Structure 1
Amino acid sequence: MTFLKILWKFSRPHTIIGTSLSVLALYFISLASTGNGVTTINLEQMLAVWFACICGNIYIVGLNQLYDIEIDRINKPDLPLASGEFTLQQGQLVVTITGVLALLIAGLSGVWLLATVAVSLLIGSAYSLPPIRLKQFPFFAAFCILTVRGIVVNIGLFLHYGDKLNSSEALNPYVWTLTLFILLFTVAIAIFKDVPDLEGDKQYNINTFTLVIGKPAVFNLSRGVISVCYLGTIAAGLFWLTSLNLSFFVTSHLVLLGLLWWRSRDVDLEDKSAIAKFYQFIWQLFFVEYLLFPIACFV
């Protein structure tokens, strides 16, 4: 049980939750768009997608920790490798096993899932591994995160589900809207995630947007990007998405937009704990979006 607790911490739980919700949301949106119900067969297919994506998720975040041990001892000292709860060899073993399992399960499940997982792992490797190590460059670091979370996962999984559900429908307006929302929202996550890590990044020459333009500018930019996400999604619901529950869709997004501004009004940018809590709040908003879309399609 101790090992499992450490593994859970190593897997970066907020990313696991986000990946799980994206798998579920796209599954239910695919069912709604094709008129299919939940069956034993497509439920097993969804579980295979989930397991492959979770393994890929652990590979990517674990690989990043393997090459950031010294930085994490300053920025995130409670992570297993930085704290010594995992040895380097244990971390390497977990990353290797999960990477192999992700590709193996995806390959056995279908070509679209294999392409989705393989591209995600490739980008995740380029993000962390030297000599490329794209995380050193603010633009490319953000590009890696938004490409995987915003484009590859959403479009790849929808195409996989469509293939398995024998759907002839191309990407529909709901998937495009969700993809655009997540794409922009991930920009906010990508630029804000380094605000709590200023000290370690500066010491080890990891150039981030926070170091370039400062914490207040990054904070306001992230909040502005998320606000645009909500306003754009509300507009899409009013003028483009014709067969969902409009009142629920618009009201829920207005509530979340108001909650964002209420929660951000008194964040102390000099308090690392306050910044970290607000970053987790941003992830919670991200989670909720993957719940709202399928609910609005089914209600």
Structure 2
Amino acid sequence: MGTGLAITLTLSLTSLAIALSLQSPPLIFGLIVWFLLGTAYSVDLPFLRWKKKPFLAGMCMVTVFGLVYQFSFFIHFQKYVLGRPVVITRPLIFAAAIISTISAVMSLLKDIPDEDGDKQFGFQSISSKLGKENVLRLCVYALFFAYGVSVIVGASSSFQLVKLVSIIGHSTLAFLLWLRAQTVDLSNNASTYSFYMFIWKASVIDLFNLMFEFEIKFTQVRLFSSRLTSNYFVEFAVVLC
């Protein structure tokens, strides 16, 4: 408990200190919102601990990963790193929509392994209301839809590398999802938790996939370009923290 708290505080304060040193309002705003929602999601205090409230838990995950993360860092890099005017592009909106969908799926899946405990303590999760099988099916279909749309959008790109990365990357994720979904044992909490963690890993891969495509097509950033300073690498530490 003490070690976890120390690590959390250290990383939180470090990322906030870096954001303040960079004097970037969108980065500072994004981190503060992230901290506040993360606290409301996890801390066991009156009116908080939103992770036990289905709607609020889903709202937190979608807001943080799908909206705050995408828009605050995009605006930061566009304006304060590249020195460009801020223009909200269609790829950014598309990425936010895909990540929001995946975040909503994860907020539903996380309750499946906890269903028995939630019922015991009187928590009414979506899984306990609709049933594990229905929630799992809904989540898998939603992910297939997200990956399918990503393949179609990527295939329409005029950039050959983006097209290849999108089609191969998302098709591979969809295939792995199909394989893992066939092996889930809903009566075994270890199995459902393993599937939930698989979706977490897949979401990280998908995020990097989308970021890679986005960088190639719209920002055309070259890490060793003279337009970027060493702060480029420092600022990635904020994301990692």
Cα deviation for residue 236 of structure 1 reads 2.0
CA contact (8 A) 2:75 2:86 kept: no
Q: Deviations over 1:59-89 (max 9, x none)?
A: xxxxxxxxxxxxxxxxxxxxxx3xxxxx4xx
Contact 1:146 1:186 in 2 (8 A): yes
Counterpart-to-counterpart distance in 2, 1:257 and 1:94: 34
**CA–CA distance in structure 2, aligned partners of residues 290 and 269 of structure 1:** 27
Aligned twin of 1:13: none
Alignment correspondent of 1:252:
169
Give the Å deviation of 1:94: 4.5
Structure 2, gaps ≥5 residues long: 218-241
2:31 corresponds in structure 1 to 117
The 1:277–1:92 alpha-carbon spacing in structure 2 relative to 1, beyond 3 Å, is closer
1:280 to 197, 200, 222: 197
Q: Secondary structure at the match of 1:196?
A: coil
Q: How far apart, CA to CA, are the structure 2 residues paired with 1:242 and 1:194?
A: 41
Gaps of 5+ in 1: 1-80, 82-86
| Maintained 8 Å contact 1:135/1:206 | no
Shift of 1:192: 0.1
Match of 2:40 among 100, 103, 126: 126
Tell me how many residue pairs correspond in the alignment.
Answer: 211
User: Aligned Cα RMSD in Å?
Assistant: 2.3
Partners of 1:215 and 1:269 within 8 A in 2: yes
Counterpart AA for 1:132:
F
Output the amino acid matched with 2:126. F
Task: Say if 2:147 and 2:171, in contact at 8 Å, map to a contact too.
Answer: yes
Mapped pair 1:143 → 2:59: yes
Asked if residue 106 in structure 1 is aligned to residue 106 in structure 2, the reply is: no
Letter in 2 for 1:158: F
* CA-CA distance at 1:244 after TM superposition: 5.3
Report if aligned partners of 1:244, 1:298 keep a CA contact under 8 Å in 2: no
SS at match of 2:186: coil
Alpha-carbon deviation of 1:220?
0.7
- The answer as to whether partners of 1:191 and 1:222 remain within 8 angstroms in 2 is yes
CA distance in 2 between partners of 1:281 and 1:128 (Å): 22
Counterparts of 1:64-103 in structure 2, within 5 Å, are 81=1, 87=2, 91-103=4-16
What is the DSSP-based 3-state SS (H/G/I as helix, E as strand, rest coil) of the residue aligned with 2:123?
coil
Per the TM alignment, residue 97 of structure 1 is displaced from its structure 2 partner at its CA by 4.2
How far did residue 268 of structure 1 move? 0.7
Residue type at the aligned position of 2:68:
V
**Kept after mapping to 2: 8 A contact 1:177/1:236:** no
Contact 2:78 2:85 in 1 (8 A): yes
- Would the alpha carbon gap of residues 231 and 105 (structure 1) be closer, same or farther in structure 2, given more than 3 Å must change? same
**Equivalent residue for 1:155, pick from 67, 71, 87:** 71
Q: Could you tell me the TM-score, scaled by structure 1's length?
A: 0.64
Q: Is the 8 A contact 1:137 1:208 kept in 2?
A: yes
Of stretches 104-113 and 94-103 in structure 1, the one that deviates more from structure 2 is 94-103
Q: Percent identity?
A: 25
Change (3 A) 1:143 1:250: same
In structure 2, the residue matched to 1:17 is none
Which of 149, 153, 167 is matched with 2:84 structurally? 167
2:123 corresponds in structure 1 to 206
Partner of 1:41: none
CA deviation after TM superposition for structure 1 residue 221, in Å: 1.1
Supply the distance in 1 between the matched residues of 2:21 and 2:88 (Cα, whole angstroms): 23
Alpha carbons of 1:160 and 1:244: their partners in 2 closer, same or farther (altered >3 Å)? farther
**Cα distance change of structure 1 residues 174 and 243 upon mapping to structure 2, 3 Å threshold:** farther
Task: Confirm or deny: 8 A CA contact 1:192 1:279 kept in the other structure.
Answer: yes
TM-score with structure 2 length normalisation? 0.78
Q: Deviations over 1:209-241 (max 9, x none)?
A: 1122111111111101111111121232244x4
